[in-house]
Amino acid sequence: KQEVTQIPAALSVPEGENLVLNCSFTDSAIYNLQWFRQDPGKGLTSLLLIQSSQREQTSGRLNASLDKSSGRSTLYIAASQPGDSATYLCAVRPGDYKLSFGAGTTVTVRA
């Protein structure tokens, strides 16, 4: 069974600092990996999707990398802002269309 781990569980940084969020998974046979953002009491918003054949994806200040062989993905957020405060979830998709989620990293960016 696929196990997804996100470390740290919580992170607090001053505004302007770069954020590094980690995600590890136990089974490298995945189709893709998706990073989501969740604000308190809200649904999940997709940030980036990395296909299994890709090494990284970028969108604005966000960059996500994927190392399938070692079972790791990292989400980088450059020049953090208070509006980046949220919980970030990673999810891996195997061939059966059922996502496996990590428990998330809760980020606080201090103004």
Q: Return d(Cα 33, Cα 15) in angstroms, integer.
A: 28
- Report the DSSP pairing between strands 105-110 and 86-93: antiparallel
By CB under 8 A, tell whether 31 contacts other proteins.
yes
| Binding letters toward other proteins, positions 67-86, x by CB under 8 A | --------------------
Residue 82 CB, shortest distance to other proteins, in Å, is 22
Q: Return d(Cα 61, Cα 59) in angstroms, integer.
A: 6
Q: Return d(Cα 96, Cα 94) in angstroms, integer.
A: 6
- Report the DSSP pairing between strands 105-110 and 100-101: unpaired
User: Which of 23, 91, 107, 109 is the binder for other proteins (CB under 8 A)?
Assistant: 91
User: Which of 28, 32, 63, 85 is the binder for other proteins (CB under 8 A)?
Assistant: 32
Positions that interact with other proteins (CB under 8 A): 4, 9, 31-32, 34, 36, 41-46, 49, 51-53, 89, 91, 93, 97-104
